């Protein structure tokens, strides 16, 4: 079994954009499978790369945020997360910027921790998690008018308890958090 073998690759026979808005880019592809089947209606959502951050203070508190999420219509406690902007030189820079803007925290030692796909079938992007140890409050928040974000510091035990209870509902955050507690117990 050769993992890099892309023998199941689909050919794109036709492709057009239905929407190209700043927060929504929808493409409709007509695709042909290796078995010859043609599917005229395969929708792809194009997004920029995403990032999120497991940010730990010197005394092992997690720097988290609390905000409203309109898809589920719930207020949730989450990792800091965001989009890699065209002005960011890398996903790491985007992660540092988002942590600073949303919480005022910075500095610390940063490393890439986990990269996953939000949806390998229908979306084009990846989500990169960074682990930042030893961050500290270096400023106040810098929020836009569409952002309404509380900063929440939780102990390691409290984060693990909430994770086991399923409170970190975002899959892109549950994956790196479970990895973190799997590797750091």
The footprint of a copy of itself (CB under 8 A) covers 1, 3, 5-10, 18-19, 21-24, 26, 29, 31, 33-35, 37, 39, 41-45, 66-77, 114-124, 126-127, 145-146, 148, 152, 166-167, 169-172, 174-175, 178-179, 181-182
Residue 93 near residue 128 (C-beta atoms within 8 A):
no
Residue whose token pair is 């406690």: 77
Distance CA 37, CA 29 (A): 14
Widest pairwise Cα distance in the chain: 59
Matching residue, tokens 């309404």: 148
Helix (H) or strand (E) holding 125: none
Nearer to a copy of itself, 86 or 120 (CB): 120
Do residues 53 and 130 touch, judged by C-beta distance below 8 A? yes
Q: How far is the CB of 107 from a copy of itself (least distance, A)?
A: 26
Q: Which residues are within 8 A (CB) of 128 and not within 5 positions of it... i.e. 6 or more apart? A: 49, 50, 51, 52, 91, 95, 112, 114, 115
Q: Give the nearer residue to a copy of itself in terms of CB position, either 44 or 51.
A: 44
Residue closer to a copy of itself by CB (options 67, 134) is 67
Q: Cβ 60 to a copy of itself, closest distance in Å?
A: 18
CB of 14 to a copy of itself, least distance (A): 14
**Nearest distance, CB of residue 88 and a copy of itself, angstroms:** 19
Burial of 103 (0-12, 13-18, 19+ CB in 10 A): buried
What does the chain come to in residues? Answer: 185
Beta-carbon contacts of 18 under 8 Å, excluding residues fewer than 6 positions away, are 26, 27, 28, 43
**Nearer Cβ to a copy of itself (3/16):** 3
Cβ proximity to a copy of itself, 68 vs 138, nearer residue? 68
- Closest to a copy of itself by CB, 86 vs 166, is 166
Residue 35 beta carbon to a copy of itself: minimum distance, rounded to whole angstroms: 6
The least distance separating a copy of itself from the CB of residue 90, rounded to whole angstroms, comes to 18
């Amino acid at each position: 079994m050769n993992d890099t073998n892309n023998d199941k690759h689909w050919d794109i026979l036709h492709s057009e954009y239905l929407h190209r808005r700043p927060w929504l880019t929808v493409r409709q592809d007509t695709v042909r499978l290796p078995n010859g089947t043609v599917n005229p209606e395969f929708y792809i959502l194009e997004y920029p790369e995403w990032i999120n951050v497991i940010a730990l203070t010197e005394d092992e508190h997690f720097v988290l945020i609390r905000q409203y999420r309109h898809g589920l219509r719930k207020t949730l406690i989450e990792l800091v997360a965001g989009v890699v902007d065209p002005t960011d030189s890398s996903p790491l820079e985007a992660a540092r910027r988002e942590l600073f803007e949303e919480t005022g925290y910075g500095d610390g030692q940063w490393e890439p921790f986990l990269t996953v796909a939000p949806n390998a079938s229908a979306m084009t992007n990846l989500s990169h998690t960074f682990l930042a140890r030893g961050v500290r409050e270096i400023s106040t928040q810098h929020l836009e008018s569409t952002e309404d974000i509380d900063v929440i510091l939780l102990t390691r035990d409290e984060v693990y308890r909430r994770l086991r209870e399923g409170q970190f509902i975002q899959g892109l955050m549950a994956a790196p958090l479970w990895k973190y507690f799997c590797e750091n117990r």
